[in-house]
């Protein structure tokens, strides 16, 4: 197994290693990316392990470190608080530690449990065909935080930490066996979470589905085809069921979509680095296809037009010296 180690390496080190014809799944690389963020990758036979700093995604969400990740896989991330941008692997699962299953085909907002500082993630990449669970059962677990304080989740988190610390020193055959064990532990953990959901109340299941829908909306606001019908179809529920989920919420599903898009537009119109884009360009970026309806909705929420908001933000913003 080829390895390149040491936090002083930059991304070009990985490129040099891959240029030697070594498969990414067989390479363990410490990388220092822009801003000091780190990423590691380790092939383990049937699965793969990556680790690094979690980066900001959309509002209240996080983007996991997934170099060379494919769409034909699930990603089970163990996220913990970290003391620095490159916290050492092998840490025991602290109280603020969460497992989260995600699907790159249908990304959703991912939030760690009560994380206060830098967040470190260890991600187990599981091929879809290797996970011995029905796809509709996996759907119930996506983006659902799994505490790691006890039971199979605690065992899995500890094993992932140990793999990250010592896995690169194992022979290739050992790594394949360790990967099979990691897959078995992940399957056991997710199966237990399904059992908990199945024994829960209808209200618990409804809240779980509602969180998934909110996450899906947050990650797809830029899609002009994001509609209640699309959301219902992607979550395998009827429109009536979707509307029922929001019947006791402060806002309807259509209002949540519209407000989310307006918030993104409001923020982008105030950004100095986006002044080169027209107001309609900004609106289109976030799914508004009709300029007049966008302006009307913006004024209803913020009391001024998009153009007035941009002018006010520009007048109060500090000079952009980078453009000089």
Other Cβ atoms closer than 10 A to 271: 13
How far apart CA 296 and CA 37 sit, in angstroms, is 42
Question: What is the predicted pLDDT for the residue at 197?
Answer: 75
Do 115 and 128 contact (CB within 8 A), yes or no?
no
Strand-pair partners of 3? 28
How far apart CA 78 and CA 212 sit, in angstroms, is 19
Identify which of 239, 299, 244, 233 has the alpha carbon closest to the alpha carbon of residue 269: 299
Q: How confident is the model at residue 9 (pLDDT cuts 50, 70, 90)?
A: very low
Asked if residue 46 has pLDDT above 70, the reply is yes
Region of poorest pLDDT, from 12-26, 209-223, 250-264, 279-293:
12-26
Q: 270: burial class by Cβ within 10 Å (0-12, 13-18, 19+)?
A: middle
Identify which of 276, 324, 139 has the alpha carbon closest to the alpha carbon of residue 215: 139
For the stretch 53-99, pLDDT in tens is 765 444 334 455 555 556 789 999 888 865 433 333 333 333 457 89
How far apart CA 65 and CA 316 sit, in angstroms, is 36
What's the predicted TM-score (pTM) here?
0.52
Q: Which residues contact 91 (CB under 8 A, 6 or more apart)?
A: 80, 161
Q: Which residue has the tokens 């990304």?
A: 107
């Amino acid at each position: 197994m080829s390895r390149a180690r040491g936090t002083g390496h930059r991304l070009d080190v990985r490129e040099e290693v891959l240029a030697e014809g070594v498969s990414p799944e067989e390479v363990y690389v410490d990388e220092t990316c822009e801003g000091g963020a780190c990423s590691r990758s380790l092939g383990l036979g049937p699965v793969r392990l990556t680790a690094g700093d979690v980066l900001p995604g959309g509002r209240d969400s996080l983007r996991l470190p997934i170099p060379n990740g494919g769409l034909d896989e699930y990603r089970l991330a163990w996220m913990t608080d970290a003391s620095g941008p490159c916290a050492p692997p092998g840490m025991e699962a602290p109280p603020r530690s969460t497992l989260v299953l995600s699907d790159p085909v249908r990304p959703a907002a991912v939030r760690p449990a009560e994380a206060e500082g830098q967040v470190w993630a260890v991600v187990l990449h599981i091929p879809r065909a290797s996970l011995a669970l029905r796809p509709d059962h996996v759907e119930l677990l996506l983006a659902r935080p799994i505490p790691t304080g006890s039971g199979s989740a605690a065992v899995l988190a500890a094993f992932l930490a140990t793999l990250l610390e010592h896995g690169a020193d194992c022979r290739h055959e050992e790594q394949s066996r360790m990967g099979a064990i990691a897959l078995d532990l992940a399957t056991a953990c997710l199966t237990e979470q399904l059992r908990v959901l199945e024994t829960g109340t209808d209200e618990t299941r409804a809240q779980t589905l509602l969180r998934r829908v909110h996450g899906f909306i947050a990650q797809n606001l830029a899609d002009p085809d994001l509609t209640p019908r699309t959301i219902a179809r992607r979550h395998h529920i009827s429109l009536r069921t979707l509307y029922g989920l929001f019947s006791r919420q402060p806002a309807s599903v259509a209002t949540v979509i519209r407000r989310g898009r307006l918030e993104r537009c409001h923020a982008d119109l105030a950004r100095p680095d986006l002044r080169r884009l027209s107001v309609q360009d900004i609106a289109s970026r976030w799914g508004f296809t009709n300029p007049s309806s966008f302006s009307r909705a913006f004024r209803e929420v913020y009391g001024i037009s998009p153009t007035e908001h941009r002018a006010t933000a520009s007048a109060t913003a500090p000079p952009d010296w980078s453009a000089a």
